Amino acid sequence: MIFEQHYLDCLSQASYFIGDESSGRAVVVDPRRDVAPYLETATEHNMTIELVIETHFHADFLSGHLELANQTGAAIAFGDKGETEFESRKLADGERIELGEIVLEIRHTPGHTPESISVVVYEHADDTIPFGVLTGDALFIGDVGRPDLLSSKGVTKEHLAGQLYDSLHNQLMTLPDETRVYPAHGAGSACGKNLSTDTWSTIGAQRKSNYAVAPMTKEEFIGVVTEGQTAPPAYFSYDAGLNRELRELLDEATPPVVMTIEEVLAAQANGAVVLDTRAPDAFAPGHLKNSVNVGMAGRFSEYTGGVITPGTAMVIVADEGQELEAKNRLARIGFDNVIGHLPHIEAVLEEHPQHAHRSSRLDVDGLVNALATVPELQLVDIRQPGETANGIIDGAHLIPLTQLNERLGELDPAKPTAVYCAGGYRSSIAASRMIDAGFGDVSDLLGGYGAWVSAHQPA
């Protein structure tokens, strides 16, 4: 058996290649949209990808099932409650898929979503102990999938949480303790609240350590898993819908076209966003006016999806040679409308200083002074609820970055504003987005809340 986990740190997302050396047949589960790595694995082992299995309609990324099907001729499969615009195979509970010696067993595990499935992997048909189980977003390492993402679609989180309890206890935790657990996400994903940094475990280890499978009643479980969830990025519902639909395929090899400063300014005037993907320290000293800064070193696509509306035309500014990676990482969440990139930004701004802007960044002493001397100062904490529960700066408005776009109306763009996060990366995103939205005076806190706490600890 060829078994590979492909893990994307930037989305905390795991996908899987399973190939049978006896037959040369292979399956990919939960593929990312830029599918070249799976094709390379298939070529390396002289295998044919025959089937793409999706454990559910993902909300946090745009899956690559259509790209893989287009390039390999593979069929696409979902659980039998998954309705799609494109042709797809419906997988029944208990169905077994033989690749040769390897057998895949489908188990319906609704709860994160109604159509969720898990895939049990047997190296040989007569094995009594599975090699592993691909649990999608039903069971994570240290957590379970959140049941609240479909609340706006008429499905209550309590109903899905009840289904998830049954899926865990009747489908997954009945597997032998030795069975390896391979989830679709790890730490940092907004699909759960307590995910481990480990990318795999075993059923036995989860039985001992995962709070969500500890002995409790269904009613207790529903309460535990529905409280304390983070605010999901606004693009989640967009991606969940797009994963059901026919759509344009990604060309992951062609970089965005080069644009001149005049073309970029004209695009801005027509509603395009200039997305500057450099680090905040590079962005702050000089950037094109009204650029939005989301550095590629962090959770680039996820945070972009929190501050830019899907379908918006975008112009990329990037460190030299990074524009194709930026385009492809945006495509992973279905943000395909990259109309070009502006190269050599420092030289462009030197030649056109009238279009340059500097960010205002405050250190802790600067913020203390502003709080004391600026009566109308608007202080905004953009961390997640789990972070703010451990303390905030007095008087701050609590608006998670992932909800900033939809909640900008709660703030007054005419008031001077200071923004902070945990360490300074997210606050640069928020401050630049506010300026792009028409806020006149916005600064962000260098070092974030961590610097504030350090500065205010007793000597």
246-282, pLDDT tens digit by residue? 999 999 999 999 999 999 999 999 999 999 999 999 9
Q: Which amino acid is at 412?
A: D
Alpha helix (H) ranges present in 150-249? 157-167, 203-209, 218-226, 236-242
Residue 162 to residues 108, 143, 177, Cα–Cα distance (Å): 14, 16, 24
| Distance, CA of 397 to CA of 394 (rounded, Å) | 9
Last residue of a domain, one of 322, 357, 392: 357
Helix (H) or strand (E) holding 347: helix 345-351
**Parent domain of 366:** 360-455
Phi/psi-derived region of residue 66, left when phi > 0, alpha when psi is between -120 and 50, beta in every other case: alpha
DSSP H or E segment with residue 351: helix 345-351
On whether residue 247 sits in a domain, the answer given is: no
Q: Buried b vs exposed e over 38-63: b needs ≥16 C-beta within 10 Å?
A: bbebbeeeebebbbbbbbbbbbbbbb
pLDDT of 191: 64
Same domain, residue pair 345 and 364: no
Chain centre to alpha carbon of residue 307: 13
Which residues of the chain register pLDDT less than 70?
150-154, 189-194, 459
Buried residues in 163-202 as b, exposed as e (16+ CB within 10 A): bbbebbeebbbebeeebbbbbbbbbbbbbbbbbbeebbbb
Query: Domain ends where: 212, 242, 272?
Result: 242
396: domain CATH number is 3.40.250.10
Is residue 164 in a domain?
yes
Q: Is 119 in the same domain as 197?
A: yes
Secondary structure (DSSP) of 285-337? T-EETT-EE--TTSSHHHHHHHHS-TT--EEEE-STT-HHHHHHHHHTTT---
Tens of pLDDT, residue by residue over 426-444, are: 999 999 999 999 999 999 9
Rg of the chain, C-alpha, whole Å: 24
Looking at residue 434, what is its pLDDT?
97
Evaluate whether residue 429 is within a structural domain.
yes
253 domain-assigned: no
Q: Determine contact, residues 28/211, Cβ cutoff 8 Å.
A: no
Characterize the bridge pairing of strands 25-29 and 48-53: parallel
- Edge-first strand order for the sheet with 75-79 is 2-8, 13-20, 25-29, 48-53, 75-79, 89-91
Same domain, 55 and 193: yes
Residues 37 and 104 in one domain: yes
* Strands ordered across the beta sheet of 338-341: 292-293, 273-276, 314-317, 338-341
The total number of structural domains that make up the chain: 3
Question: Where is the domain boundary, 303, 325, 357?
Answer: 357
| pLDDT for the residue numbered 298 | 82
CA 244 to chain centroid? 18
27 with 122, same domain: the answer is: yes
Question: How far apart, in whole angstroms, are the C-alpha atoms of residue 57 and residue 240?
Answer: 6
Bridge partners of residue 75, in order along the sequence: 51
φ/ψ of 426, rounded to 5, equals -70, -30
For residues 321 and 367, membership in a common domain is answered with: no
CATH code: domain of residue 187:
3.60.15.10
Cβ(4)–Cβ(26) below 8 Å = no
Element (H, E) at 132: strand 132-136
Instruction: Report strand pairing: 417-420 vs 292-293.
Output: unpaired
Task: State the pLDDT at residue 193.
Answer: 61
- On whether residue 254 sits in a domain, the answer given is no
Q: Please indicate, yes or no, if residue 169 is contained in any of the structural domains.
A: yes
